[in-house]
Amino acid sequence: MSLPSLRIAVIVGSTRPRRRGESVAAWVHGRAQGRDAAYGIVDLRDHPLPLLDEPAAASTGVYEHAHTRAWSEVIAPYDAFVFVTPEYNHGLPAALKNAIDYLWSEWQDKAAAIVSYGNGGGLRSAEQLRTVLSCVGIAHVRAQTTLNNRDDFDGYAVTPNAHHEHGLDAMLADLERWAVAMREARGAR
């Protein structure tokens, strides 16, 4: 299948000065090169947002602040997303939730996959994220890449076990198929 115009963002969901998320996103992005879709990295740290300060709900499409309009312009062009998320206190990072809450139509009828990490693979964070993605109208594939802090990292650098590479490839293939389907769904609106 040829998908030359498919655009997929790998979203770095953690913002700490030293963080595992950056290395994980670089691994995903590197592994995705050569696939039949254009993958880019969107690092939340490059798009700092205050705690949600828009007077109107994002579903109205009325954005008062320049930072919201800038964030909208970053996300809107993408067909699909790979959310790279750690687990913080059994949940998803506040910065990631906040960044999602800022927008609405930019997420609607798009596709996503999740790469989570933590002491137990970040599973609780990923499950919470799935609930949030459902609410904003993102179709999330079942396949998931779950990295373990102890087994798949050397300090802050990801050193994934070999089976994760095959799992990631299969997950990205699912994501691309769903991204095509959701693009058609958007066209049918």
Ligand X SMILES: Cc1cc2nc3c(=O)[nH]c(=O)nc-3n(C[C@H](O)[C@H](O)[C@H](O)COP(=O)(O)O)c2cc1C
CA angle 47–65–42, rounded 5-degree value: 20
Radius of gyration of the chain (CA): 16
Shortest gap between Cβ of 127 and ligand X (angstroms)? 13
Binding-site string for ligand X from residue 96 to residue 125, where x marks contact by CB under 6 A and - marks none: ----------------------xxx-----
Between 19 and 35, name the residue whose CB sits nearer to ligand X: 19
Between 86 and 160, name the residue whose CB sits nearer to ligand X: 86
- The footprint of ligand X on residues 10-29 (CB under 6 A) is 14, 16, 19-21
Between 14 and 145, name the residue whose CB sits nearer to ligand X: 14
SS3 content of the chain, % helix, strand, coil (to 5): 40, 25, 35
CA angle 177–144–173, rounded 5-degree value: 25
Query: Does residue 160 bind ligand X (CB under 6 A)?
Result: no
Residue in 86, 95, 171, 182 binding ligand X, rule: CB under 6 A: 86
Q: How far apart are the first and last CA of the chain?
A: 24
Between 16 and 35, name the residue whose CB sits nearer to ligand X: 16
Shortest gap between Cβ of 31 and ligand X (angstroms)? 18
Strand partners, 153: 158
Q: In the complex, which residues of this chain contact ligand X (CB under 6 A)?
A: 14, 16, 19-21, 86-90, 118-120, 149
